Structure 1
Amino acid sequence: MARESVKARERKRAKLVAQYAKKRAELKAAGDYQALDKLPRNASPVRLHNRCKLTGRPRGYMRKFGISRVTFREMAAAGKIPGVTKASW
């Protein structure tokens, strides 16, 4: 499980990206790259990294569910994800 500080940092970045999204789009459309340089670095969407919403795990992230493969497997086995069943043939 990721440290709380790492998860908090990602949440803070996501908030900054949302806050500056409109301004970034306007500056990009105008071609004002000097003004773009003055924006905070964490306001860039490239700096975001997908993490599991429950554990904060950065690898094995499943976009459709927003959780990691490990958490997904545990929850699916426990029947906590609707519509997901274990395959058998």
Structure 2
Amino acid sequence: MKKGVRCWLRLIFHFGIEDQDVAKLSMINREVRRARVVAQYAAKRTALKEVIQDLNHSDEQRREAQRQLQALPRDASPSRLKNRCRLTGRPRGFYRKFGLGRNKLREAAMRGDIPGLRKASW
């Protein structure tokens, strides 16, 4: 089995995606890769940021830390991560508390899969 096919099968298994198009799978795959890069560089980024913000270091040390921080990959920044629905991979209408998009959250709530959540009625 080819490597790309294996990767997609892993994504389908991980996210529960069955009928998604290739474009959406590639975006989900990109987000997974970004999360891996963010985790890989997290310690280095925090160490460099501490040096930059610490006024006890010399200006030259702080400038060098700034250069090193800028030399890191763009995807190493946590702000580049996008929350996605665990079931569909949809990037918009995401509820952080549940990890689901609005459509799948509504379906799960109507089925009673989420304890304590019910449709509003007044």
- SS of the residue aligned with 2:113? coil
State yes or no: 1:14 paired with 2:47: no
Deviation string, structure 1 residues 29-88 (Cα, Å, up to 9, x no partner): 112110012211100111111111111111111010011111100111111112211222
Alignment match, 1:60: 93
Q: 1:73, 1:9 → 2: CA distance?
A: 27
TM-score normalised over the length of structure 2: 0.68
Gaps of 5+ in 1: none
Q: 1:75, 1:8 → 2: CA distance?
A: 25
Q: 2:42, 2:27 → 1: CA distance?
A: 22
* Structure showing the higher helix proportion among its residues: 2
Q: 1:84, 1:64 → 2: CA distance?
A: 12
Q: 2:33, 2:108 → 1: CA distance?
A: 27
Alignment match, 2:120: 87
Q: 2:121, 2:80 → 1: CA distance?
A: 40
- SS of the residue aligned with 2:87? coil
How many pairs are equivalent? 89
- Greater Cα radius of gyration, structure 1 or 2: 2
Aligned pair partner of 2:109 in 73, 76, 79: 76
What is the percent sequence identity of the aligned residues? 56
Most deviating of 1-10 and 74-83: 1-10
Gaps of 5+ in 2: 1-19, 53-64
Look up the equivalent residue of 1:46 and give its one-letter code.
S
Aligned pair partner of 1:37 in 45, 70, 77: 70
Q: 2:28, 2:38 → 1: CA distance?
A: 16
